[in-house]
Amino acid sequence: MQRPVVWVAGAVLAAVALAAAAVAGAAVGFAVGRAIQASAPPGERTVAGEGPDKVALIRLVGPISQEGGGILPFGRSASARAVVGLLERARRDPAVKAVVLELNTPGGSVVASARIHESVLQLRQGGKPVVALLTEVAASGGYYVAAGADRIVADPSTLTGSIGVLVVLPNLQEFNRRLGVRTVVFKSGHFKDMGNPDRPLTAEEAAIFQALVDEAYQRFVDVVAQGRRMDRARVLRLADGRIYTGAQARRLGLVDALGSLEQAVALARELAGLPRARVVEYTSPGWLGSLLDLGPPWPRPATLEDRQPFSLQYLMVP
């Protein structure tokens, strides 16, 4: 009877030892991976050209939000945090002498658009010229970002402009009435449930929302006037929310030149005084970065940010 007991005990001890070794190995591997990641140069690929100097190509695709990822009517949104990170990466890289920011976006969050715009200005203040390239659509918040660049290049058929601000509030009162749904609201202040979709806005509430829109709109006008070195009164005449083609925007002074990526790169090189340069695009961190939680492949869980009732938007409505 003693021999089976010894066998069982030996098996248990062996299993414990293997588990301890696995945990220790994982810890060592994680530490080594972190060290490798910290010491390795950031990934990038050469798109065109040659030479030690670089022009960084950074793409902003989709509606602009703070964190990105959500599926919107326009498609998957672009993360302002990620774009700002790439712009900062270009700012810190001494070999990067200029940046081409390619935009294909209908705009989006006021705060997120302003955040990217500020990063563009920081690049310029650091002596690195920025050329904005407008492709399919670069409207509203997309144009807000572009207005911070040294120069703007657009395809003749680009849809741009849409200079203005939106707040969209659903009204489900009639829908809920037909379903027999009623809501009861307890609130601490007269305006605490502003935007409640189960009732119409009051005149006072509408005035408050309009004041928010007007304030953000004035900032947008200022950004365009300063970025384009344009008289503010002229910007106001152009900023009635309408969209323009790239060719129309060129004639109106909202765009500097018509062209594609090749023209934008050539202009960036000219502004930076580069006879030649490599055009580089930053790449993802790869399997090691994903393993170390640098870019989880699964969707992030819903947060309060996803459920916000409304927000100010520099957005072109489809």
Find the farthest-apart pair of alpha carbons in the chain and give their distance in angstroms, rounded: 98
In a domain, 183, yes or no: no
Rounded to 5 degrees, φ, ψ at 45 are -125, 145
Specify whether 154 is located in the same domain as 254: yes
pLDDT above 90 (res 312): no
Specify whether 57 is located in the same domain as 143: yes
Specify whether 309 is located in the same domain as 215: yes
In a domain, 128, yes or no: yes
Which of the residues 157, 187, 192, 260 is marked catalytic?
Answer: 192
Highest average pLDDT, of 4-18, 258-272, 288-302, comes from 258-272
Total number of domains in the chain: 2
Specify whether 99 is located in the same domain as 121: yes
Which of the residues 65, 79, 119, 140 is marked catalytic?
Answer: 140
Distances (CA, A) of 98 to 62, 86, 131, 256: 23, 13, 8, 17
β-partners of residue 280 are 46, 56
Specify whether 115 is located in the same domain as 21: no
pLDDT tens, position by position, 220-272:
999 999 999 999 999 999 999 999 999 999 999 999 999 999 999 999 999 99
| Contact present, 91 and 126 (Cβ < 8 Å) | yes
Q: How far apart are CA 44 and CA 89, in angstroms?
A: 11
Burial of 39 (0-12, 13-18, 19+ CB in 10 A): exposed
Cβ neighbours of residue 310 closer than 8 Å, sequence gap 6 or more: 167, 168, 169, 195
Nearest to 313 by CA among 175, 152, 144, 120: 144
Specify whether 216 is located in the same domain as 90: yes
Specify whether 121 is located in the same domain as 224: yes
Is 140 catalytic? The answer is yes
pLDDT above 70 (res 35): no
Residue range of the domain that includes 29? 1-40
**251 in helix, strand or coil?**
helix
Is 192 catalytic? The answer is yes
CATH number at residue 229: 3.90.226.10
